[in-house]
Every structure is written in structure tokens, then in C-alpha cells.
């Protein structure tokens, strides 16, 4: 029994959720069909009613279009045509996923809407209005609140003065039951601005004096509709509303004679004038705010255009610079920050133009990494010289002097350039840079100025790739490519700017470089000779043949060298 109740509960919940989703979609579909004149409003309501009945009886939603066709209100072709026209989709039958296509169409339309562009002048205007209105509103709130409190305190003070006067002069007449004297005492009370009434009652709560003589001798009735009741010593006061609708501040103090309470005095002061003054002040503030808003909006719009136009010029100039037009200039005669910005922007364009020329020309003579580092920080310490670990590779053409003696200069230069091109690509592809060309020799450096931890492996791989390309070009008439010997050494080098004030170059010097220069002389055409320092770093990845020790000038110890045979497959350079 419990299980069936639970099942019915969840079944009704599911039907309700399904029915809600179906109703929303069906109403939209029905409105589209009515708009196209396919069905009438009465037919739509009947179809929706049948749809809802089928939902609860069958437990599943039935398409509205199918019900309309079953009821004979319209043909399927007319429904399909109306849906396609209304939602700009393409369906062939009512069995198609019309709901999914409509949803997708709406989502794609929303996504395709452009992001609204808010001009600067409008942003200035909106920001100014928010600041002005918020500032005036906050100031008005606190000022009016303080004004209301000040007026109330002044009213309270007037009431206290009147009350003290009546209490001080009514004790003896009240003790003697001198009604005439008591009423004479309060007769002129209403002449005080804002004072509505004054009442003197005895200890039996009988009115002995009243500004309204008709109330004299009656029993005093308690006040009703009392709010904000407060006490200050033997003084009590509160707000209440008269039957006439006036808001009154009532002050009460007992009449005491020789520590005996004879009665009490009530004084009523109108506080409606406070709200009138506050309302008048609010109207004044609103009028002033209106004129401030108008004036502020004019200033905001003017400032917006005043700043947006030069910014638009800067945006256009930025596009020109981005497109490579470094000589584009901004003409902006302003003596402010935007004027300074335009001047700085023009200077930047000039510098970019000069740098572009330098990169195109100077970049051909030094490596791109060195050029980028020079351009980024020309005062960097590594340009001033420092020691670092690096690997140096020397490539040289064997027998070039003899070869050049019997060849035409044009042929020599052409073949040399092809050789230098291959060597340069191989060195750069593995993270090194070409330091210089020395006659027919190429000096490549790995590890400085851009440090790579595996600089030795990179140099060896670059040398191997270089020789591989040289050997692939045998079919060419450039026989110089098969005559290249390469020497590689790792160690400490001194790198930095070296030269005179007229001409400087970034290069490497030291014993490591000198040894590499000796090693390439040991290499026969097509060979790569490496030093022991290189071999010790890469011996697990290299196959080599040891060579006889070499005695090199300037070295106190003999130098071990190795001929590179092959780089193993697991070598990662």
C-alpha cells in the first residue's frame, strides 16, 4: 500500500514537471500557428486540453501538432510550412525534432548577437550621473535627518520651557483649588507658536485648567495612538495623533509641593511643521539636483568626446603600427597627458622603425637570440662579459686554400654561401648561434647567451645533422660540402661585447674556444672530432673511436680526443 502511494506521488510529480515543460512549448507552438492563420484560438485551447488529458492518461507527452491533425483542425503540410516560416528552420514532418531545432536556433541567434559597444562619452555620462545622484541622495539623507532631529529637539526644548513654567506657578493655585488662577496661567499658552494645548489636572485626574474651556471640570482621558514614549527624570514625552490628524508631541510633568504630588501638567506641541519644512527642503534639493544633473550631463558628454576622439586616433595609430606602418604619425595639439602620449607614441613609432631596419640588416650578421637580447636589454651584464659553461663548434673546409686558387671568385662565393647556409641552419635549429664566419670556418656556440643545460648534446647533434646534409648534397657540383671537418669542445668561456668604441661584437673567447679551433684541424673531410669534456658528458649516447693524445701549445697536459662514429637512438639533443 505504501509503495503504491509513493509511486503515485512521484508519478504525479513527474507528470507535473513534464506537463509544465510541454505547456510552455505547446503555447509557443500554438501562438505561431495562430499567427500564421492555421488554427483559431478556440481550436488551440481544445488541442491543449486534449494534450493535457493524454499526458495524464498515457503518462507521456503527445505533440501538439499531432493532436491538431488528429482533431482535423489542419493538415500536416500546413503545420510544417507554418513552423518553418515562423522559426526559420527546415523540418519535413511533425516527427522531426522541432523543439530541439527551435531551441538551437534561438541559442545560435543569442550567441551571434554582437557584444554591445559603449562609447566613452556615454560611459562618462553614466558614471557622472551615478556619482551625482548617489552623492546628492546620501548627503540629502543625512542632512535632512540631522535637520529633522534638530527641529524636534528645538520643539522639545520649547515644550520643556513651557512645561517648567506651568509646573512652577501652578502648585499653590492647585493646592487652593483656585481654578480661575490656574486658567489665567495657561490662558496665553496657545499664543506660543506651535503650542496646541496646555492641561492642568489634579491628583484625582480632574481637569482644573485647559486651553479649551469646555474641557474644564471633566475627567481626564488617557492618550491613545502613542508612539516613541521616552522619559527624562520626572519628565515624560511621546508622539501621538489627534482625531483631526495632527501629529502632536505631548510633554508631561507632575506638580510637586513639598515632596507631595498634587497633579500634573500636559503640554501639546504640533510637529507637523517639521515634516512640512523637511518636505520643502526635499523639493528644493530635487530642483537643485535636477539642474546639477543637467549641467553635469553636459560636462560629462563634452569630456567624453574631448577624450574619446584622441583615444580613437591612438587606437587607429596602434592598428597602423601593428600592421607595420611605423612611420604613421598622430597629429594632436594638446597640452595635457594625451598630448604627451601622442608625442611618446610618435617617438615609439620612430624607434620601432629604426629597430625594424636594424633587425633586417644587423640581424643578418648575428644570431636572432643575441639580437633579441640586445634589443630587450642593451645594458645587460652578460653583454659586459662573464664566465659560463658552453660548447663551441668549429667547422672548416679541408684544403680550401688550394681549392680557391684555381676557381673563379664568383664560383667560390656561391659555393661558400651554400656551405654557410647549411651550417647556419643546423646550428640555429638546435638552439645555438653562429658567432662568426672566419674565412671558410664557422664558429657556432651553444649555451650562451641563451643557456641550455644540454648544450653539449645540442652541439653534437647539430654537427651530425650538418655532416648528414653535406653528404646528401653529393649530387650537386659543390664539392666543398664533402670536405668539411668539425671540432667540438665544452668548457668555460668568457662571453660579452668585445671591440672598440667604433665597432663592437658579441663573441666568446678563452681556452675552450682555442681548443675547439685545434680540434677541427684534426678532422678529415666528413669527420667530427670531440674533446674529452664533450665525451664525458655524452659517453652513454655516443659511439666513438679514441684518437692518439695531442700535445697542443699552451696546454701543459696532453689532450684526449675522439672521432664521432654514431649517435645512439636514445640521444636527446
Q: Could you tell me the CATH number of the domain that includes residue 495? A: 3.30.70.1230
Answer yes or no: is 266 within a domain: yes
pLDDT value at position 4?
A: 46
CA distance 533 to 489: 7
Answer yes or no: is 549 within a domain: yes
Q: What is the mean pLDDT of residues 214-240?
A: 87
CA distance 348 to 261: 93
Decide if 562 contacts 546 (C-beta within 8 A).
yes
Same domain, 106 and 144: no
Split into its structural domains, the chain has a count of 3
Same domain, 215 and 251: yes
Answer yes or no: is 397 within a domain: yes
Domain boundary among 276, 302, 321: 276
pLDDT value at position 266?
A: 92
Decide if 428 contacts 400 (C-beta within 8 A).
no
249: which strand partners?
Answer: 239, 269
CA distance 472 to 249: 111
pLDDT value at position 270?
A: 84
Question: Is residue 240 very low, low, confident or very high in pLDDT (cuts 50, 70, 90)?
Answer: confident
**DSSP H or E stretch at residue 557:** none
Same domain, 441 and 513: yes
Q: What is the mean pLDDT of residues 202-230?
A: 87
CA distance 346 to 340: 10
Answer yes or no: is 61 within a domain: yes
Q: What is the mean pLDDT of residues 57-61?
A: 58
Domain boundary among 243, 260, 276: 276
Decide if 452 contacts 463 (C-beta within 8 A).
no
CATH of the domain at 235: 3.30.450.20
Decide if 209 contacts 186 (C-beta within 8 A).
yes
466 pLDDT more than 70? yes
Same domain, 165 and 256: yes
CA distance 420 to 413: 10
Lowest mean pLDDT among 384-388, 404-408, 498-502: 498-502
Answer yes or no: is 365 within a domain: no
Answer yes or no: is 135 within a domain: no
* Nearest residue to 345 (alpha-carbon basis) of 372, 318, 365: 318
Question: Is residue 465 very low, low, confident or very high in pLDDT (cuts 50, 70, 90)?
Answer: very high
202: which strand partners?
Answer: 263
Angstrom distances, CA of residue 477 to CA of 27, 412, 485, 516: 83, 12, 19, 29
Same domain, 426 and 500: yes
Residue located via cell numbers 507632575: 254
The residue range of the domain holding 476 is: 373-567
CA distance 417 to 478: 11
Residue positions counted in the chain: 573
pLDDT value at position 226?
A: 85
Answer yes or no: is 329 within a domain: no
Angstrom distances, CA of residue 487 to CA of 16, 402, 446, 517, 535: 85, 21, 14, 7, 12
Question: Is residue 344 very low, low, confident or very high in pLDDT (cuts 50, 70, 90)?
Answer: confident
Question: Phi and psi of 327, rounded to 5°?
Answer: -95, 10
pLDDT value at position 24?
A: 60
275 grid coordinates: 515634516
CA distance 507 to 365: 12
* Nearest residue to 374 (alpha-carbon basis) of 490, 495, 492: 495
Same domain, 149 and 252: yes
Decide if 569 contacts 543 (C-beta within 8 A).
no
Who wins on pLDDT, 429 or 61?
429
387 grid coordinates: 664566465
- Across the chain, mean pLDDT equals 79
Question: Is residue 11 very low, low, confident or very high in pLDDT (cuts 50, 70, 90)?
Answer: very low
pLDDT in tens, 101-156: 776 665 554 444 455 667 777 777 788 888 888 888 888 888 888 888 888 888 88
pLDDT value at position 3?
A: 42
Same domain, 154 and 86: no
Dihedral angle, C-alpha 376, 382, 383, 387, nearest 10 °? -160
Same domain, 183 and 94: no
Question: Is residue 56 very low, low, confident or very high in pLDDT (cuts 50, 70, 90)?
Answer: low
CA distance 553 to 20: 96
309 grid coordinates: 576622439
Question: Is residue 499 very low, low, confident or very high in pLDDT (cuts 50, 70, 90)?
Answer: confident
Same domain, 67 and 178: no
Domain boundary among 276, 301, 329: 276
Answer yes or no: is 123 within a domain: no
pLDDT value at position 395?
A: 93
pLDDT value at position 17?
A: 41
pLDDT value at position 9?
A: 41
- DSSP helix/strand/coil, 555: coil
72 pLDDT more than 90? no
Q: What is the DSSP string of 6-48?
A: HHHHHHHHHHHHHHHHHHHHHHHHHHHHHHTTSS-HHHHHHHH
- DSSP helix/strand/coil, 149: helix
Same domain, 70 and 188: no
Who wins on pLDDT, 350 or 534?
534
Same domain, 420 and 526: yes
Same domain, 219 and 266: yes
Task: Kindly state the DSSP code that residue 364 receives in the 8-state scheme.
Answer: T
pLDDT value at position 18?
A: 43
Residue located via cell numbers 685545434: 518
- Residue 491: exposure state from Cβ atoms within 10 A (0-12, 13-18, ≥19): middle
221 pLDDT more than 80? yes
Question: Is residue 383 very low, low, confident or very high in pLDDT (cuts 50, 70, 90)?
Answer: low
pTM for this entry: 0.42
Amino acid at each position: 500500500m505504501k509503495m503504491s502511494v509513493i509511486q503515485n506521488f512521484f508519478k504525479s510529480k513527474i507528470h507535473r514537471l513534464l506537463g509544465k515543460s510541454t505547456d510552455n512549448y505547446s503555447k509557443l507552438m500554438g501562438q505561431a500557428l495562430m499567427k500564421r492563420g492555421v488554427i483559431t484560438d478556440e481550436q488551440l485551447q481544445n488541442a491543449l486540453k486534449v494534450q493535457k488529458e493524454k499526458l495524464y492518461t498515457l503518462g507521456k507527452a503527445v505533440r501538439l501538432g499531432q493532436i491538431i491533425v488528429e482533431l482535423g483542425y489542419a493538415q500536416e503540410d500546413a503545420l510544417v510550412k507554418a513552423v518553418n516560416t515562423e522559426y526559420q528552420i527546415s523540418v519535413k514532418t511533425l516527427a522531426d525534432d522541432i523543439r530541439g531545432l527551435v531551441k538551437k536556433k534561438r541559442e545560435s541567434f543569442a550567441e551571434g548577437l554582437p557584444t554591445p559597444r559603449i562609447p566613452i562619452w556615454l560611459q562618462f555620462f553614466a558614471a557622472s550621473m551615478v556619482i551625482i545622484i548617489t552623492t546628492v541622495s546620501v548627503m540629502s539623507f543625512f542632512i535632512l535627518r540631522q535637520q529633522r532631529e534638530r527641529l524636534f529637539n528645538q520643539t522639545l526644548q520649547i515644550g520643556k520651557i513651557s512645561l517648567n513654567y506651568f509646573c512652577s506657578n501652578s502648585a499653590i493655585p492647585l493646592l487652593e483649588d483656585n481654578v480661575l488662577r490656574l486658567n489665567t496661567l495657561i490662558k496665553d499658552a496657545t499664543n506660543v507658536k506651535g503650542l496646541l494645548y496646555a492641561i492642568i489636572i489634579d491628583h484625582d485626574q480632574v481637569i482644573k485648567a485647559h486651553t479649551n474651556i469646555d474641557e474644564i471640570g471633566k475627567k481626564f482621558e488617557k492618550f491613545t495612538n502613542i508612539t516613541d514614549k521616552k522619559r527624562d527624570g520626572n519628565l515624560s514625552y511621546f508622539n501621538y495623533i489627534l482625531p483631526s490628524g495632527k501629529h502632536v508631541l505631548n510633554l508631561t510633568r507632575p506638580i510637586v509641593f513639598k515632596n507631595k504630588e498634587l497633579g500634573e501638567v500636559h503640554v501639546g506641541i504640533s510637529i507637523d511643521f517639521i515634516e512640512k519644512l523637511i518636505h520643502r527642503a526635499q523639493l528644493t534639493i530635487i530642483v537643485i539636483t535636477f539642474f546639477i544633473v543637467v549641467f553635469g550631463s553636459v560636462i560629462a558628454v563634452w569630456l567624453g568626446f574631448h577624450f574619446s576622439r584622441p583615444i580613437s586616433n591612438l587606437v587607429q595609430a596602434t592598428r597602423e603600427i601593428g600592421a607595420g606602418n611605423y612611420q604613421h604619425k598622430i597629429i594632436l595639439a594638446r597640452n595635457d597627458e594625451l598630448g604627451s602620449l601622442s608625442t611618446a607614441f610618435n617617438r615609439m613609432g620612430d624607434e620601432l622603425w629604426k629597430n625594424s631596419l636594424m633587425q633586417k640588416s644587423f640581424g643578418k650578421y648575428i644570431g636572432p637570440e643575441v639580437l633579441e637580447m640586445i634589443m630587450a636589454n642593451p645594458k645587460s651584464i652578460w653583454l659586459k662579459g662573464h664566465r659560463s659553461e658552453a660548447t663551441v663548434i668549429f667547422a672548416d673546409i679541408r684544403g680550401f686554400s688550394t681549392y680557391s686558387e684555381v676557381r673563379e671568385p664568383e664560383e667560390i662565393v656561391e659555393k661558400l654561401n651554400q656551405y654557410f647556409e647549411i651550417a647556419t641552419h643546423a646550428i640555429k635549429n638546435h638552439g645555438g648561434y653562429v658567432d662568426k664566419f672566419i674565412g671558410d670556418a664557422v664558429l657556432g656556440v651553444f649555451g650562451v647567451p641563451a643557456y641550455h643545460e644540454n648544450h653539449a648534446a645540442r652541439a653534437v647533434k647539430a654537427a651530425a645533422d650538418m655532416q648528414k646534409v653535406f653528404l646528401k648534397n653529393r649530387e650537386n657540383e659543390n664539392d666543398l660540402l664533402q670536405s668539411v671537418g668539425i671540432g667540438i669542445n665544452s668548457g668555460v668561456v668568457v662571453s660579452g661585447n668585445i671591440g672598440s668604441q667604433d665597432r663592437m661584437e658579441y663573441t666568446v673567447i678563452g681556452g675552450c674556444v682555442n681548443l675547439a679551433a685545434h680540434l677541427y684541424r684534426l678532422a678529415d673531410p666528413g669527420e667530427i672530432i670531440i674533446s674529452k669534456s664533450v665525451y664525458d658528458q655524452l659517453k652513454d649516447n655516443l659511439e666513438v673511436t679514441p684518437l692518439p693524445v695531442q700535445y697542443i701549445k699552451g696546454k701543459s697536459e696532453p689532450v684526449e680526443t675522439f672521432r664521432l662514429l654514431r649517435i645512439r637512438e636514445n640521444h636527446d639533443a
